[in-house]
Amino acid sequence: MALSHTWQQFLDETGDISRFTRRFFLQGFKPRYEIAELLRQCYIIGYKSLPLVGLTGFIMGLVLTMQLRPSLISYGAESELPAMVGIAIVREIGPVITALIFAGKIGSSIGAELGSMKVTEQIDAMEVSGTNPFKYLVVTRVLAATLMLPVLVILGDAISLYGSYLGVNIRGITSFSLFFQQVFDALSFSDFFPALIKSYFFGFAVGIIGCYKGFNSSKGTEGVGRSANSAVVVSSVLIFIIDLLAVQITDILGFN
């Protein structure tokens, strides 16, 4: 009985999120366009997330390099280190880790912000002020998250590779140009393209879940906390599901 109730709740929520997503597509591309708010959200969601994404990317590249080195030495393949780290970061680790960091920072922030606006009647006030709150708050945030995450992934990958370059040079000497030549020699279009495309889907998932949770927040401050928390949990799980689907699709299309 408990299981069926949980299952029912899961299905209800999935249906609600689908309707919310449909509403985004129905309303998002009709005028009035909230360009100024979209640009403001791009600045907040993209630019202000860069330090955190950069720091985690740098540490990720450095640590990955230092962890891989002993294994590669034991196989006599230390010279393959830049290529291996490059492929791992660009294809998988960069997009997924950046998306998870993004979900933690932006998903929770959107969930809490909209949740707080809902319980303090700011969304109603917006509607009374001649503003469609769905367009102004939801469409702009979802678009900004969708557009900004791929940019953050590219920048995060670059910083991560720089961290890897420093990691290589802790125990050896490799020039900057040689390191990056080895990285880019190992990479091809089929490594960049699927990673970039799935980043758009990750960004969309984080934006739509954060907005859905915030927009449907209730029960006062407790509800706001719950919205922020569940926005992170659901969008993180969705990131892994999208990643799983992406790897299957790229495999079918021959990109792997």
Kindly list the residues in this chain that would bind another protein in the complex (CB under 8 A): 113, 116-117, 120-122, 124-132
**Shortest distance (Å) from residue 131 CB to another protein:** 5
State which residue, 21 or 132, has the beta carbon closest to another protein: 132
Distance CA 66, CA 237 (A): 29
The token pair that represents 253 in the structure block: 């299309």
User: Is 146 buried (19+), middle (13-18) or exposed (0-12) by CB count in 10 A?
Assistant: buried
**Shortest distance (Å) from residue 105 CB to another protein:** 17
**Shortest distance (Å) from residue 20 CB to another protein:** 19
**Shortest distance (Å) from residue 35 CB to another protein:** 13
Distance CA 164, CA 81 (A): 9
The token pair that represents 238 in the structure block: 């969705």
State which residue, 60 or 145, has the beta carbon closest to another protein: 145
**Shortest distance (Å) from residue 164 CB to another protein:** 38
85-123 as b/e, with b when 16 or more CB fall inside 10 Å? bbbbbbbbbbbbbbbbbbbbbbbbbbbbbbbbbbbeeeb
User: Is 226 buried (19+), middle (13-18) or exposed (0-12) by CB count in 10 A?
Assistant: middle
**Shortest distance (Å) from residue 113 CB to another protein:** 8
Q: For residue 148, what are the CA distances in angstroms to 11, 39, 44, 89, 130?
A: 30, 11, 10, 19, 28
State which residue, 47 or 193, has the beta carbon closest to another protein: 47
H or E, element range at 196: helix 189-215
State which residue, 113 or 191, has the beta carbon closest to another protein: 113
State which residue, 4 or 129, has the beta carbon closest to another protein: 129
**Shortest distance (Å) from residue 125 CB to another protein:** 4
State which residue, 107 or 133, has the beta carbon closest to another protein: 133
The token pair that represents 137 in the structure block: 């708050």
State which residue, 141 or 198, has the beta carbon closest to another protein: 141
